[in-house]
């Protein structure tokens, strides 16, 4: 048993955040979950509400927060294009003002703080697979920039707080993650395809489907975040966390049709602007520093995720 810590998780009612809260509680820690429900929802954390070590606070991280904790996981930010492009100014504010507020809090209370950054900082990458020393290829004025550049600026702030104030920081670059509690309408590849397949609707593949992604199951990802935060050595990162096994979008679509027993056919659509053609992490750093790599096979993870969406869609009108 580890010594009990008080842990703040911003965006704690979101897809990743709720799994992280669950993992922390399972180890006996106290969790303060903060969310404004912009993309998260109470349904993701209802099963945690009876736990006496779980506390929920409705709050927007673009405003300061005054609490006493030992560690902060800064997870708050809409992460799917549909959501972050809906209010791009607010997306940038969440990354930038939210980071300033959480770093200010960490500085005041001398807490360790982890940033949930993203593989999107690499943009449409010119190197493959992506290593942490690659600076990226991002369009700063495109429709995805509110998220990509917001997270890049958040990383800047984290490293400047470390240099200027000696803060203990961790910067994790999260690659495509999937699993139960993804939003039905979040527009991401796995959730989109599963929902379309379960409804026997056409599966919309953008481009010719040859672009690749690497998908990490949520339990593996949370294990990586926890190991990175808990490492004894003062190593700030950035550190890639994701699955290094690539799959083409078309391959994913075909696999989901098979696993759901769907009658859906695949429809090709034009590729969105600045959509990366390849996205795959080099996880050599995570392997050597924290002994982490994903363990859940895509087939097994997809089965769990499909079962979750079956239940979720049955509950919807």
Active-site residue set: 147
Read off the tokens for 61: 């991280």
287: helix, strand or coil:
helix
Between CA 171 and CA 152 the distance in angstroms is: 11
Radius of gyration of the CA atoms of the chain, in A: 19
At residue 134, φ and ψ (nearest 5 deg) are: -80, 130
Integer CA distances (angstroms), 100 to 138, 191, 274, in order: 23, 32, 28
In order of 42, 77, 94, 239, 316, the CA distances from 84 in angstroms are 20, 8, 10, 23, 24
Q: Are 272 and 204 in contact (CB under 8 A)?
A: no
**3 state SS of 298:** helix
Tokens of 12: 């704690």
C-alpha–C-alpha distance, residues 10 and 260, integer Å: 34
| Cβ pair 105, 63 in contact under 8 A | no
Who contacts 200 (Cβ-Cβ below 8 Å, separation ≥6)?
262, 263, 264
């Amino acid at each position: 048993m580890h010594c009990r810590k008080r842990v703040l998780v911003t965006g704690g009612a979101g897809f990743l955040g709720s799994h992280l809260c669950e993992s922390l509680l399972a180890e006996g820690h106290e969790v303060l979950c903060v969310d404004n429900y912009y993309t998260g929802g109470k349904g993701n954390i209802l099963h945690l509400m009876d736990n006496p070590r779980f506390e929920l606070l409705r709050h927007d991280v673009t405003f300061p927060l005054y609490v006493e904790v030992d560690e902060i996981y800064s997870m708050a930010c809409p992460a799917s294009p549909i959501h972050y492009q809906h209010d791009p100014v607010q997306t940038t504010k969440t990354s930038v003002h939210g980071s300033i507020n959480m770093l200010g809090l960490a500085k005041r209370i001398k807490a360790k703080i982890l940033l949930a950054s993203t593989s999107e900082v690499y943009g449409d990458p010119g190197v493959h697979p992506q290593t942490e020393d690659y600076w990226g290829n991002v369009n700063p004025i495109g429709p995805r920039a509110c998220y990509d550049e917001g997270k890049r600026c958040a990383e800047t702030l984290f490293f400047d707080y470390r240099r200027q104030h000696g803060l203990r920081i961790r910067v994790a670059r999260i690659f495509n993650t999937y699993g139960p509690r993804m939003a039905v309408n979040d527009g991401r590849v796995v959730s989109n395809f599963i929902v379309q397949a379960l409804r026997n609707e056409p599966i919309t593949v953008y481009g010719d489907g040859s672009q690749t992604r690497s998908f990490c199951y949520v339990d593996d990802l949370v294990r990586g975040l926890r190991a990175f935060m808990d490492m004894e050595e003062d190593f700030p990162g950035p550190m890639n966390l994701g699955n290094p096994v690539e799959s083409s979008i078309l391959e994913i679509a075909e696999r989901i049709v098979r696993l759901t027993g769907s009658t859906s056919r695949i429809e090709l659509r034009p590729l969105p602007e600045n959509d990366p053609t390849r996205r795959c992490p080099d996880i050599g750093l995570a392997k050597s520093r924290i002994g982490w790599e994903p363990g859940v096979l895509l087939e097994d993870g997809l089965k769990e995720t499909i079962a979750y969406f079956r239940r979720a869609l049955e509950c919807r009108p």
